[in-house]
Amino acid sequence: MKYATDYGYQIKPVYGPDDVEGLEYQRDLGDPGSFPYTRGYHENGYRSRMWTRRMTVGLGSSRDANKVLKKYREMGQRGGMCVIHDRVSCSCIDADHPLARRENGVLGWPGSSFLEFEELMEDIPLTGQSITLLGCCSPSTLRLAYVVALAEKRGIDPREVHGSVMESPFGNVFGQTDVQPFDLNMKLFLDATEYVVREKIRMRAGLVGQHFQESGGNNAQLLAVELSMLKEICGRLVNERGLDFDEAMRVPYQLIDIGSRFFEEVAKVRALRRMWAKMAKEHFGAKDEKSCQLLIAVHTSGRTMTYQQPLNNVARCAIQTLAGAMVGCTALDNATLDNAYAEPSALAARMSLNTQHIVAEETGVAEVVDPLAGSYFVESLTNEVEAAAYRVLDEIDELGGLVAAIEQGRIQAMLHEEANVKFRETNNGEQLIVGVNHLAIPEEEDSFEIPVQELEASDSEAIAQRMAAWKKTRNRDSLEAAIGRLHADAGKGDGFNLMPAIIEAVKVYGTAGEIMGVIRLARGLGYDPFELIQCPFELN
């Protein structure tokens, strides 16, 4: 039996005062609400603001996803909604693209036009809850444009809407390859982020560490990569876009993965709060205390949800939810018991949301802030993961930062190696997984059938056909004018913000493929990343 964290720290059988000898309360922990925020940002914790309890939605058509969103509200989804794009709209191609026809609405919401967003949000309020739209960096500007356009259409000031619709370009190298080039994603991400800061729109951008960890990365690497992302993004917003750091820091939030190694997960999040607070002060010279408080949302780990004996996942989900709650998160969404099969069924979604409600309402853990503080073990682990993360961070810095490290293939290699290690450890029984490599039962005994959500190829094709037909009904003149302006703006260099032109194009129902296509053309790329279709517009 191996007693070690995933980043290689040997865990002792017992911890005592000697293990936290150098710990100074004010310097290293501070009260909740005080620098360095190891214990969280609110004096009264969840008593002043309960975490947002939500589930991620996205399967089938926009109308299908709308029904699920309404159902989740009935199930007690509180504080916010969360929708993820399908692979087609993640790639910024349209539903009627030749490569899309089998995949629309697969693994997400087919959000490649404003029409789809209107259908998604029908009878669902834009305000009074956080609006979170996830799924790759490329559609970030579109998602922001959808929100602005719908707010205007409903007569709401966009500044009244809050949530998160942007996603950093780094997620796409963490085990998920994007079809749009990294430099284009980065430029558009910075455009969207700069726009919300200057327009005072309360939309955030996810620097999603979750993908990194779900793809195999260990806890120390995750913290280092997270801080490196913040360093790159904030650095660019300040240096390239001329924003004040304290303004720029209103935008990022972290979506972090919580697995089943309970105390290590708690320590990881506490270390992240402390490490960021220090970086904000020491590296960026934060003047506003708010800038030292990195917003942290939690996703319980999908990769730990087993295919075998899926009911076991209810227990895993509960343990992970408890860790996420005890560490003080802003929002939490769960993986579900059927995560290894498909998108959540209504049963699985209800189980997961109820797991959150049980933790929130029945256990009492939400009544006290950072209840594990002062535990010899937890404080030691917090110090250990922090020290290990600083070592990785130094390596990334020496390579010239995260973008440089990615260009050299180093981050990808790091992830690949870790994924192999994790596979080997379960394969040879070093890490036991109940029902998989421990206490497995014969297939015929694993008889409890869970409902599984399915999507037929005909559903995907219907989404494609609808888009193809609908495109012809749009006002061609206003569309061409908006697309023409966007193409012209896109030729004005990386620093020229395309958000205003994208919003105009979205309002007249320019689609993801069209908008990204003409931006690509202006940058000397082909209209279609797959080189299968031609630009339908005449451009000057």
Partner 1 sequence: MTEGRGIKIIVSMIGLDSHTTGAQVVATLLRDAGFEVVYLGVNQTPEMIVKAAIDEDVDVIGISSHASNFALIEDLMDLVVEHDLTDVPVVCGGNIPPNQIEKLTAKGVAKVFPPGSSGQAIVDYLAASGRAGK
Query: CA angle at residue 56 from 199 to 260, to 5 degrees?
Result: 115
Cβ nearer to partner 1, comparing 126 with 348: 348
Phi first, then psi: give them for residue 51, nearest 5 degrees: -70, 155
Cβ nearer to partner 1, comparing 180 with 219: 180
Q: Is 96 in the site for partner 1 (CB under 8 A)?
A: no
Q: Is 457 in the site for partner 1 (CB under 8 A)?
A: yes
Q: Is 416 in the site for partner 1 (CB under 8 A)?
A: yes
- For the record, the structure tokens of 454 come out as 């399915």
Cβ nearer to partner 1, comparing 48 with 427: 427
Cβ nearer to partner 1, comparing 5 with 215: 215
Cβ nearer to partner 1, comparing 293 with 352: 352
Q: Which stretch binds partner 1 (CB under 8 A): 74-82, 102-110, 314-322, 349-357?
A: 102-110
Q: Is 42 in the site for partner 1 (CB under 8 A)?
A: no
Residue 159 and residue 202 in contact, taking contact as beta carbons nearer than 8 Å: yes
Cβ nearer to partner 1, comparing 40 with 310: 310
Which DSSP helix (H) or strand (E) runs through 464? helix 457-471
Q: Is 525 in the site for partner 1 (CB under 8 A)?
A: no
Phi first, then psi: give them for residue 104, nearest 5 degrees: -65, 130
Residue 70's CB: how many other CB atoms inside 10 A? 14
- For the record, the structure tokens of 55 come out as 């589930």
Look-up of token digits 């018991």? 337
Sole binder of partner 1 in the list 50, 238, 340, 481 (CB under 8 A): 340
Sole binder of partner 1 in the list 100, 295, 332, 414 (CB under 8 A): 100
Q: Which stretch binds partner 1 (CB under 8 A): 98-106, 122-130, 196-204, 367-375?
A: 98-106
The phi-psi region of residue 22 (left if phi > 0; otherwise alpha if psi is between -120 and 50; otherwise beta) is alpha
Q: Which residues make Cβ contacts (< 8 Å) with residue 301, sequence separation at least 6? A: 213, 214, 257, 258, 259, 260, 320, 335
To partner 1, the closest distance from the beta carbon of 56 in angstroms equals 14
Q: Is 348 in the site for partner 1 (CB under 8 A)?
A: no
Sole binder of partner 1 in the list 399, 433, 488, 522 (CB under 8 A): 433
Site for partner 1 in 212-251 (CB under 8 A): 214-216
The identity of residue 529, as a single letter, is: P
Cβ nearer to partner 1, comparing 34 with 312: 312
Peptide bond into 36 cis (omega under 30): yes
**203: nearest Cα among 280, 245, 242, 148:** 148
What is the DSSP code (8-state) at residue 27? I
Sole binder of partner 1 in the list 232, 343, 379, 489 (CB under 8 A): 343
Query: What distance in Å separates the CA atoms of residue 431 and residue 443, rounded to the nearest whole number?
Result: 22
Buried-state track 322-358, b at ≥16 Cβ within 10 A, e below 16: bbbbbbbbbbbbbbbbbbbbbbbbeebbbbbbbbbbe
What is the DSSP code (8-state) at residue 25? I
Q: Is 475 in the site for partner 1 (CB under 8 A)?
A: no
Site for partner 1 in 174-213 (CB under 8 A): 175-179
Q: Is 361 in the site for partner 1 (CB under 8 A)?
A: no
Q: Which stretch binds partner 1 (CB under 8 A): 115-123, 246-254, 374-382, 447-455?
A: 447-455
Cβ nearer to partner 1, comparing 235 with 302: 302
Query: What distance in Å separates the CA atoms of residue 260 and residue 214, rounded to the nearest whole number?
Result: 13
Q: Is 99 in the site for partner 1 (CB under 8 A)?
A: yes
To partner 1, the closest distance from the beta carbon of 224 in angstroms equals 19
Site for partner 1 in 246-305 (CB under 8 A): none
Sole binder of partner 1 in the list 59, 205, 359, 406 (CB under 8 A): 59
Q: Is 64 in the site for partner 1 (CB under 8 A)?
A: no
Sole binder of partner 1 in the list 87, 268, 274, 471 (CB under 8 A): 87
To partner 1, the closest distance from the beta carbon of 347 in angstroms equals 14
Cβ nearer to partner 1, comparing 63 with 102: 102
Q: In what order do the strands lie in the sheet with 130-134?
A: 52-54, 331-333, 295-300, 252-258, 202-208, 162-167, 130-134, 80-84, 56-57
To partner 1, the closest distance from the beta carbon of 387 in angstroms equals 27
To partner 1, the closest distance from the beta carbon of 344 in angstroms equals 11
Sole binder of partner 1 in the list 365, 419, 434, 481 (CB under 8 A): 419
Sole binder of partner 1 in the list 347, 358, 387, 452 (CB under 8 A): 452
To partner 1, the closest distance from the beta carbon of 124 in angstroms equals 24
Q: Is 439 in the site for partner 1 (CB under 8 A)?
A: no
Q: Is 107 in the site for partner 1 (CB under 8 A)?
A: yes
Using a 10 angstrom Cβ sphere, with 0-12 exposed, 13-18 middle and 19 or more buried, the burial of residue 506 is buried
Q: Is 408 in the site for partner 1 (CB under 8 A)?
A: no
Q: Which stretch binds partner 1 (CB under 8 A): 62-70, 191-199, 454-462, 508-516?
A: 454-462
Which DSSP helix (H) or strand (E) runs through 378? helix 376-398
Buried-state track 73-93, b at ≥16 Cβ within 10 A, e below 16: eebebbbbbbbbbbbbbbbbb
Where are the extended beta strands (E) located within 190-339?
Answer: 202-208, 252-258, 295-300, 331-333
- For the record, the structure tokens of 373 come out as 């503080």
Residues at the interface with partner 1 (CB under 8 A): 59, 87-88, 90-91, 99-100, 102-103, 105-107, 175-179, 214-216, 306-308, 340-343, 415-416, 419-420, 423-424, 427, 433, 436-437, 452-457, 460, 530
